[in-house]
Amino acid sequence: MPENRISDPETWVDQFGDYLYNYALSRIQNPSTAEDMVQETFLAALRDRGNFKGLSTERTWLTSILKHKIIDHFRKMSREHPVDDLDSATDFTEDLFDEKGSWTLKPSNWNANPEKLVDRKEFWEILNHCLSDLSKRLALAFRLREIDGMNCDEICNVLKITPSNCWVMLYRARMSIRRCLEIKWFDVKAGEGSQ
């Protein structure tokens, strides 16, 4: 596609709709909100299509717009529901260590190849299930860091939290997800050999 050329916006839904919807749904976990985000993305792209410089593919450009819409959505949620996960969460890590700091239940040995795991649909289904067990803000912090690749400062800006809150939230989210994956993925898969 020549520079500054953009395809007919009437074809965007057919070309990019499913991809953008799945992208939004994987982050928001709410089908109607994901649909709204995709619609807002298409409207913003239609309004600003003159600014498309052709430096990336249209899909990448639309995904970038969608990312900003999702971040704005999370910022709005943070302002409307300023719950501090550090105060309200129970410390589930207490039962992982004894009073001397040794493991009471050692973590499983994960022999799986992480690169192969991310290609498995079942793994993503279980990971999403594990994320749904977390509070919304812990799940969001984990998604922003581990799936979207944001750094702590960016996460703090989105969630309106301090860096120490960010690190504690990420720690708790990771420990909870690790425990959930060990129970729901690795223990179930242990009899199948390495992944």
Looking at domain 85-192, does it have CATH number 3.10.200.10? Answer: no
For the chain, the domains span: 9-80, 85-192
> For the segment 121-170, what is each residue's pLDDT rounded down to a tens digit?
777 788 888 888 888 888 888 988 988 888 989 899 888 888 888 888 89
- Stated pTM of the model: 0.53
N residues, the chain? 195
Q: Which option is the CATH number for 9-80: 2.160.20, 1.10.3470, 1.10.1420, 1.10.1740?
A: 1.10.1740
Please state, in angstroms and rounded to a whole number, the distance separating the CA atoms of residues 53 and 57: 10
Q: What is the pLDDT of residues 9-28, one digit of tens each?
A: 888 888 998 999 888 888 88
- pLDDT tens per residue across span 101-112: 665 555 555 555
